[in-house]
Structure 1
Amino acid sequence: MTFEGFPDEGLVFYEGLEADNSKTYWTRSRPTYDAFVRAPMQALLDELAGEFGTAQLFRPYRDVRFSNDKTPYKTHQGAVVNPDGRGAGAWYVQVSADGLMVAGGCWRLESDQVARYRRAVADDVQGPRLRAEVDRLATAGWTIDGERLVRVPAGFGRDGDRADLLRHRSLYATRRWEPADWLHDRRALDEVRDAWRDLTALNAWLADNVGATTREPRARR
């Protein structure tokens, strides 16, 4: 299937799901989701796979076991590319009634990864590289986010130009577009591709300096 944009029917589907997040609505509207959300998203990912790698398309069902919010369905469709062997640094794309979102970086780091991240930020070679890249992305309109500590962790200087980066326990950049006519055609593919390319240096830094966790996987509760 060739990607031809995200049809307006898919965005309308999510408007309805936000208003009625129920099994009744989902069952009645499942063919719309399959045709106008899941299928075009998979087509987009297939066209990007040659450059960025195979993506994981997230399930539409929420995990409500440990959440106070018991609504059963996600009000967006997301997908992520985690390149094999990199360990850290991924690309993300999401469509919803609010439009299109792309992101890249690390959304969650284990303790050993956080320790390597901090050492790299404090390093006089790797730290300035990340500082420059984060500043470049912010100037280009990206939102820099991630879990942060209130203070710089003990053992690191609190007054340097990388103090804000040392507070991060995860680090990612995000860009959003509200619904527009181009979202319904192949320009959406160009926007995602260009945005992911713009995140390549950030992801490379994370892959080189943070890498994969060496901790054992957590037991499921």
Structure 2
Amino acid sequence: MSAKPIKIQRSNIDFLVQLKKNNNRDWFNERKNEFLTEQANIENFASALLTGLNLHDVIETPSGKKSLYRIYRDTRFSADKTPYKTHWSGSFKRAGKNRRGGYYFHIEKGNTFVGGGFWGPSPADLKLIRDDIAFDAKPLRDIMNDKNFISSFGSLTGEQLKTTPKGFDAGHPDIDLLRFKQFLLIKRFDDETLLGENLLQHMGQAFKDMRPFFDYMSSVLSSDANGE
């Protein structure tokens, strides 16, 4: 008898839908056991994602459970005071100082995706990336033009400057890349895929497809300004 596929259950999503309609502590506390049951399946799904990641990368995050973000929102500095998130999410950190980038997953009706990359690079890291692009953008262009990259992510995304970054020529042939402040890869999934039997495989493949980009960026960010 074959094992059941590891998948997102409809009840995992239904709980979030109800939470969105009843985002208050009384409703949540009355259903705390239901929440824990649904979260346990998400932990199981995250553990399977981690197992797949460790087949082609080295991950510091020790378990699927440790990868999950808390359901509780930090409302201290937010105008939105609803206490709970209405999605499941988590991330995996690559091991070692020379393995840069990280993996993120987000599970929500109408908004399920995986992401990876560099959300807020430090000024020093951003300068290294831009200097490398300005010197020779071909390695990055080759990655972005690869059929697997395009199939998974379409294009590089992230916040960009509207003007030219300081110290660079507005007429540089790669000014479109030099304007990036964030360097993100995002793969989205529709609700049919979300509840299907192959979401785990699809997410795992998207993570694997990030590796050439991560390897390039790790090389850039683990060298000095002279490329050594």
Matching residue's letter, 1:164: D
RMSD value, Cα: 2.4
Q: State how far apart, in whole Å, the 2-side matches of 1:41 and 1:131 are.
A: 36
Aligned residues: 208
**3-state SS of the aligned residue for 1:11?**
helix
Task: Say whether 1:35 aligns with 2:16.
Answer: no
Residue of structure 1 in register with 2:139 after alignment: 129
Q: How does 1:137-152 map to 2 (within 5 A)?
A: 139-142=150-153, 144-152=156-164
Residue of structure 1 in register with 2:226 after alignment: none
Q: Is the 8 A contact 2:99 2:215 kept in 1?
A: no
Change (3 A) 1:7 1:20: same
C-alpha displacement of 1:185: 5.0
Identity %: 24
Question: TM-score, with normalisation over the residues of structure 1?
Answer: 0.83
C-alpha displacement of 1:99: 5.0
C-alpha displacement of 1:140: 1.8
Q: State how far apart, in whole Å, the 1-side matches of 2:40 and 2:160 are.
A: 36
Matching residue's letter, 1:170: Q
Q: Is the 8 A contact 1:3 1:43 kept in 2?
A: no
Q: Which runs of 5+ in 1 are unaligned?
A: 213-221
User: Which of residues 166, 175, 180 is equivalent to 2:187?
Assistant: 175
Change (3 A) 1:162 1:138: farther
**3-state SS of the aligned residue for 1:41?**
helix
Residue of structure 1 in register with 2:200 after alignment: 189
**3-state SS of the aligned residue for 2:31?**
helix
C-alpha displacement of 1:186: 4.1
The C-alpha deviation readout for 1:16-60, integer Å capped at 9, x for no partner, is 122221112222333333222x22222223223333423621111
Question: TM-score, with normalisation over the residues of structure 2?
Answer: 0.81
